[in-house]
Structures are given as structure tokens and as C-alpha cells.
Structure 1
Amino acid sequence: MNRPLRIALVAHPRHPIAEPFKGGMEAHSFHLARGLMARGHDVTLFAAGDSDPAFTIDSLLPVHYDRDYPWENTNPHPELYTVLDKAFGAARHRIFSG
């Protein structure tokens, strides 16, 4: 048997990574994380904080951003891009320091 890996899986925080899925990215991230965990890997899901608590979540944002910046109303929205840049930048530091 292979040694388990420590895996950082970065998901988009537009919607929570949880069922019922809002779309394909959420479903893909959910099933990929679940599949890797089932194979014995230590998976940390970098996603919205309101994602499925069955995963080890490292929150990019406390809640999915579509709640506060509904895409259909705010595309493009400079404040949203600033929020996302900060969130992903901070996650990058946590991933590479751990």
C-alpha cells in the first residue's frame, strides 16, 4: 500500500462545496475530495466556510461569496475581485507554510 498523501484541494468559493450542488465545479470538488479521503489521503479542502463539514475545511471565506456578491448582480465587481485576491493569497501562504 502507498503512503497517504497530504493534499490541499483548492475549490472556488462562489458556492459551498456541499450537496445539493449548484453546479459542476462544486460537484467535482466534492467528489474528488471524498474519493481521495476514501483512499486514505489527508485532504484539506480550501473552500467557502459553509461547505460540507464532513471535510477538513480551511476557509477561503467564512461563507460562499455568491451570498454577498450575487454573480448575476455584480459581474464584474471590483470589490469582489479584491476579496477573492486576498482570500486566495492568504490560502497560498497557509498551503506552502504547512
Structure 2
Amino acid sequence: MEIAVHVVPPGGGEMQFTIPISEDSFYRPIPGDYLNFREDDGLCAFYVLNVHHYYEKLDASRYMAENIVIEAEPVKLPDGIGSESHLTLCTTLKANRHYPNLGT
């Protein structure tokens, strides 16, 4: 089974790029979740818009999960936390959603 995050502009739209996830991952996000990925120079964060499950027909009565596509938009992170590439992505796609308040 393949699992991937498809990064889209705010509110959805055409996929910009894909982030593959290990199929051994036990966590399956739901719409409204935030996904964080570590990069060498900081974090990148995304807001889950939709989760699509695709199934393959095995026989007349059974289907098997073939892949899961997580549609997510980038979110702005507090200063000093986000990676340079994530900041560039948020600027390019005009991200308007902010990461939830971290208690500051």
C-alpha cells in the first residue's frame, strides 16, 4: 500500500508536489489534523484537507486498500521554526492558514 501527502494550494486545487510516507506508518490523519515534517533547517507543516482511500478489487466480493492520498495545504509557522524551503513554499502558494497557537 502506498501512502502520500499531496501538497495543494490553500483551499485545495492542483497538486504541487508529493511527500511519500512509509507504508509502515500506523498513524492515519483525518481532515483538520496538522502534519509536521522535520527538515535539516527546521520544520514544515501542513493542514489536512481530505483523505482519499483507493481500493483494488481482488475478486467478486473483496477489495484491498491500494493507496491512501492525504490532500494537505501548507501552513505558516511561527518565526524561527519553519525551514527556508517551507517559508518559500508558503510565500509562493500564498498560504493564509497559521499553525495553532503554541501557547505564546
TM norm structure 1: 0.20
Larger Rg computed on CA atoms? 2
Higher RCO by CA contacts (8 Å cutoff, separation 6 or greater): 2
TM norm structure 2: 0.20
More helix by share: 1
More strand by share: 2
